[in-house]
Structure 1
Amino acid sequence: MDWDATSAFTPVGLALRGQPAHRIVRTLGDAAYMLLKDWPSDDGEEYVTAVKACVDAISGEITPQQFWDAFLRAADEAGIAALTIVHR
């Protein structure tokens, strides 16, 4: 299990309504926490797909990049703005 996988995707900043208003997701663990604790709605099809993909990525059944694609689709479904974080 790799909760801290970061090398396969670029960190993303999410703009949420409420508190906290902004989150940066850098790892699979961050994403899992976000999906289970801070997600605004848990009834969308893309949300359910992203939760399953997160479990699959943590357990090594799919790549972190495959999860990341599902995570971004779920964010779009929920109306969450996602911004790629660029480090200099």
Structure 2
Amino acid sequence: MYDKPFAGPVFVRLLGARHPSAVSSLGHAADLLFDNWPRTDGPKYAEARRACLNCDGSDDSLAWTRHAFKEAAREAGILVEDSYFI
């Protein structure tokens, strides 16, 4: 279940990275949130961590986890909006 894919990637730019990273699975999101997140004091960050821990692998649960991850990325200032790629 850890490698369950999201419906679409969330693009983030991590500190020091030249290009955005595409986060396209529960496992990738969890790895970033638990091991390499730039700001760990926000409520959206805490919510995204809980979403990863509680995700049951269903489509609805994955969609919620993706949304929570995206909001945490926005809160941390690392979200790359979709229009970046158009």
Same fold (TM over 0.5): yes
Structure number with the bigger relative contact order (C-alpha 8 A, sep ≥ 6) is 1
| Separation (CA, whole Å) in 1 of partners of 2:2 and 2:63 | 14
TM-score normalised by length of structure 2: 0.79
Residue identity in the other structure for 1:11: P
Say whether the 8 Å CA contact 2:44–2:68 is kept in structure 1.
Answer: yes
User: RMSD over aligned Cα, in angstroms?
Assistant: 2.1
SS at match of 1:11: strand
Bigger mean CA deviation after superposition, 38-47 or 8-17: 8-17
Partner of 1:67: 65
TM-score normalised by length of structure 1: 0.77
Matches for 1:1-88 after TM superposition, within 5 Å? 2-6=1-5, 8-19=6-17, 22-57=20-55, 59-60=56-57, 63-84=61-82
Number of aligned residue pairs: give it.
81
